[in-house]
Structure 1
């Protein structure tokens, strides 16, 4: 198993009843707006994260589908968990930009994925591919989140 702190926590919490939901709440506490979508991280490994975002009234838009910003929050949460679970220890990351395309009505629970090529973890820009899928498998949102990667500064003694 990886020595990554987030992956260790994920695998520890998975052993608990409702572990996936508990882990998602713990992770969402780092960025409280993630709590608004009530996500569940269903899979987390190096270079990949999958979560589900339930379709519920609190995230509906005026036509009763999942709101665009709720979808974007899901994309950003999946990307953030994937990045934290994957980045080498000597590097750090920060979001730089996000482009999205809404491709179909989000009229069910949404499964969101974030994935990156493992060879791309080095200083500079890294484009993370993020996608959201309806229950029938239809893509409802596609995107790229660009993160800036840099070396961690040396620790002061």
Structure 2
């Protein structure tokens, strides 16, 4: 883990109770990509023995938040990041531990320039959820905004 990963992981684990509840693990966080892992936990299985859809949603949304915090965390005095919409597609049956890889959909500099110009920028974060064998079991897009602190 890098220092960036540790600080983002520590911050989100402290601030977001669902991260602790699901025991999410931060594998990587950078300004353009974050990878989180949901361990296989029978308490969070669905009726077919895989991770519950709500747990996978939370994993993916948390990965999107991690990349947003890594990209814009140093600007929290100027703006607060907020999710605007989230859409998820479940593609294949998930079994065992799954990972979510979130990728920032616009260059951070472009988003910050829009904020500087007085706008309230919106930007997508794409997330792929995968089983250990690499199969994509779900895909999510979360649209985030940076709401200026007035």
TM-score, length-scaled by structure 2: 0.81
For this pair of structures, how many residues does the alignment match? 137
TM superposition shift of 1:25: 5.8
How does 1:1-157 map onto structure 2 within 5 Å? 11=3, 24=9, 27-87=12-72, 89=75, 90-116=78-104, 117-119=106-108, 120-121=110-111, 122=114, 123-153=120-150
Q: Which consecutive aligned stretches of 4+ in structure 1 deviate over 6 angstroms post-superposition?
A: none
* Residues 12, 133 of structure 1: alpha-carbon distance in 2 compared, 3 angstrom cutoff: closer
TM-score, length-scaled by structure 1: 0.78
Please tell me whether the aligned partners of residues 25 and 35 of structure 1 are also in contact (alpha carbons under 8 angstroms): no
Please tell me whether the aligned partners of residues 36 and 99 of structure 2 are also in contact (alpha carbons under 8 angstroms): yes
Please tell me whether the aligned partners of residues 130 and 144 of structure 1 are also in contact (alpha carbons under 8 angstroms): yes
TM superposition shift of 1:69: 0.4
User: Distance in 2 between the 1:41 and 1:53 partners?
Assistant: 9
User: Distance in 2 between the 1:45 and 1:12 partners?
Assistant: 7
- The Cα offsets for residues 96-139 of structure 1, whole Å up to 9 and x where unpaired, read as 11100000011121011111132452432211101100011000
Higher relative contact order, chain-length normalized (CA < 8 Å, sep 6+): 2
